[in-house]
Copies of this chain bind each other. A is one copy, B any other.
Amino acid sequence: MPDDSAWTNDEIEALVSERARILGPAVWAAAQPDARPVISFAGGLPDIPSLPGEALLRAARAVIEHEQREALQYGGTFGPQPLREAIAERSSRIEGIPVGIDQVIVTSGSAHAIGVVCETLIDPGDTVLVESPNFPGSMRTFRTFGAEQVAIPMDDNGLRVDLVSEALDRLQNEGKRAKFLYCIPTHQNPAGCTLAVGRREQLVELARKHRLLLLEDDAYGELWFEDEPPPSLFALSKGEFALKVSSFSKIIATGLRMGWTMGPPALISRMASVRYDMGTSPFQGRIIAEMIRNGDLDRHIANLRSIYRRKLERVENALRDYCGDYCTYTAPLGGFFLWLQLRPGMSSRDVQLAANERGVIVGQGPQFFADGAATDHLRLAFSYVGMEDIEEGVHRLGDAMAAVAARQAAK
């Protein structure tokens, strides 16, 4: 018999759902930046000094002055109407196709959107295709909904669409279908690459032929450095075969927990129906709508492009000086990430540990792969690190690589 006051661990395990059992308890401070005095290339976190606090306050003042009554009441599960209107108008311009508000739902960040997509589409045992390597947060969500993930490899030009085709044929032969293909076609996380335009067209054609839904995660698409990226899968399929998940996290602030998803109205309305949160904050939604209308958002994004381009340049210069003997990479065209391939025989885990000892943290290996395979890759996020710390950080990373290479040579 349990004692009659507190719950025992066994009682908790017996009480919780299958999903909760898969996940176990949470540790506090998850998704927090490292609190130690280190140089961090680890998290996909935005630049700190440019966070637009004053622009947010200015917009908040306008909202309270002109639309307090609506901003402080329920806004519905599709999201606050002025934000949907501002997103539809802006997206029509960016996507080059007309986007109506019935194609737009506002969510509490893109991680929330991906969870709502799973609530809408996934029953335990369903199959999803997943670009690999990929963002661990999304793969965790798919896993906890009981989805079976089929990993599709990438190369420097992004997802291997020929292998998507093979996987679809294989599933068809097994009498299965994929509920969706999850990918990050632009400035991919972690690989940094961008899916070539020809492959995008092939992928949309495949989707049309196989009635395959494309779950297109576009958290980084607007942060390009020299040229606009190719048209999105959403645009190429005329909004029919892609749910494009976007976020204000990387273009305003992760601390807002706001994003949006565009797709076929029939699926958008299913997402609005299945969520149980009575919608995402109309107060914050209208603040962001005001930042879109008054031009602050576009000005801020232009500024971010220049900041991240300069950070990448500085990282690349330092890599050339300190790490050139130990790794190669394909330069990203935008976003937050540089994906280093280590020299044959060098282990990413060893380099990560050696860097950590030198006060530098980087992301590595298995967490980015649905099958948990170890790799010889490191992910360098150049977004969060202070401009003035970059050279020193990469210098120490080079020392770490040299130490690992020396140990390897001595074997």
Q: How far is the CA of A345 from the CA of B277 in the complex (A)?
A: 38
Find residues 29-85 in chain A having any chain B CB closer than 8 Å to their own CB: 29-33, 45-46, 48, 51, 53-54, 56-57, 60-61, 64, 68-78
- Say which one of A115-123, A156-164, A292-300, A346-354 lies at the interface with B: A115-123
- The reply to whether the CB of A208 lies closer than 8 angstroms to some CB of chain B is yes
- The reply to whether the CB of A109 lies closer than 8 angstroms to some CB of chain B is yes
Copies in the complex: 2
Q: Is B278 a contact of A111 with CB atoms below 8 Å?
A: yes
Q: Is B78 a contact of A28 with CB atoms below 8 Å?
A: yes
0 or 1 for each of A336-358: is its CB under 8 Å from B? (1 = yes): 00000000000000000000000
Q: Is B72 a contact of A276 with CB atoms below 8 Å?
A: no
Q: How far is the CA of A141 from the CA of B119 in the complex (A)?
A: 12
- Say which one of A220-228, A265-273, A390-398, A400-408 lies at the interface with B: A265-273
- The reply to whether the CB of A16 lies closer than 8 angstroms to some CB of chain B is yes
List, in ascending order, chain B residues with CB within 8 A of A137's CB: 278
Find residues 273-317 in chain A having any chain B CB closer than 8 Å to their own CB: 273-284
Q: Assuming the A-B contacts A16-B121, A122-B17, are A282 and B270 also in contact, with contact meaning beta carbons closer than 8 angstroms in the complex?
A: no
List, in ascending order, chain B residues with CB within 8 A of A119's CB: 17, 19-20
- The reply to whether the CB of A264 lies closer than 8 angstroms to some CB of chain B is yes
Q: Is B254 a contact of A12 with CB atoms below 8 Å?
A: no
Find residues 13-29 in chain A having any chain B CB closer than 8 Å to their own CB: 15-20, 23-29
- Say which one of A2-10, A90-98, A165-173, A362-370 lies at the interface with B: A2-10
Q: Is A20 a contact of B76 with CB atoms below 8 Å?
A: no
Q: Is B278 a contact of A26 with CB atoms below 8 Å?
A: no
- The reply to whether the CB of A128 lies closer than 8 angstroms to some CB of chain B is no
List, in ascending order, chain B residues with CB within 8 A of A115's CB: 275-277
- Give the contacting residue for A54; candidates B16, B64, B111, B256; CB below 8 A: B64
List, in ascending order, chain B residues with CB within 8 A of A206's CB: none
Q: How far is the CA of A276 from the CA of B20 in the complex (A)?
A: 12
Q: Is A75 a contact of B274 with CB atoms below 8 Å?
A: no
List, in ascending order, chain B residues with CB within 8 A of A372's CB: none
* Besides A31-B279, A32-B74, A56-B72, 14 other A-B contacts (C-beta < 8 A): A6-B264, A19-B119, A20-B119, A23-B270, A24-B273, A25-B270, A31-B77, A32-B76, A53-B64, A73-B253, A108-B108, A108-B280, A115-B275, A140-B276
10 interchain pairs, CB-CB under 8 A: A5-B238, A16-B120, A20-B274, A25-B272, A32-B76, A56-B283, A111-B276, A112-B276, A112-B278, A281-B281
